[in-house]
Structure 1
């Protein structure tokens, strides 16, 4: 099982952690939400929880809770700029369907 970051995502996370002056990496997960069933959670992590599964990709630690990992296995997190908007984009091979607004998915 693995979660990866694109070069752009890893650079963005590393710069943000450096600017914050603290943090061990980025925490990813899923929660029940939205019209398709699940939504991604993403936050900067100041410390690892005992149950976290930790991946290191391009020098950045990615922390995932064990319950979320089966839904996210094989996912690549990218950082994209589209026009005036920028943000993280999940490329999850497990997704069977997404809602029209792109906020939720199911597997």
Structure 2
């Protein structure tokens, strides 16, 4: 199982961690939400828990709880700026359907 962090995403995480002055990396997870089933949850990781899988790329750590790995295995996390909008983007090969607004997905 692997999760990929693009160089752009890693640079953004490193920039934000430096700005915050604390944190180990980025935490990625899923939660039940939306009309399709799941949504991504992104936060700063302050510590590595006993049930965390740690992926490190481009000098940045990405932490995922073991329970979320089946939904996130193979995901590529990118960071894009489009006009005035900028956000993390997820390319998830496990997704079978998304809702019309793009906020949730099904696996």
Partner of 1:100: 100
Count, aligned residues: 107
Partner of 2:45: 45
**Alignment gaps of 5+ in structure 1:** none
Structural RMSD (CA): 0.6
Q: Kindly provide the CA deviation profile for residues 7-55 of structure 1, in whole angstroms up to 9, marking residues without a partner as x.
A: 1100000011011111100000111100000000100111111111111
Structure 2: how far apart are the matches of 1:19 and 1:31?
Answer: 27
Matches within 5 A, 1:1-107: 1-107=1-107
Q: TM-score, normalised by structure 2?
A: 0.97
Structure 2: how far apart are the matches of 1:24 and 1:42?
Answer: 14
**Alignment gaps of 5+ in structure 2:** none
Structure 1: how far apart are the matches of 2:51 and 2:71?
Answer: 17
Structure 2: how far apart are the matches of 1:28 and 1:64?
Answer: 5
Structure 2: how far apart are the matches of 1:99 and 1:59?
Answer: 34
Structure 1: how far apart are the matches of 2:77 and 2:19?
Answer: 20
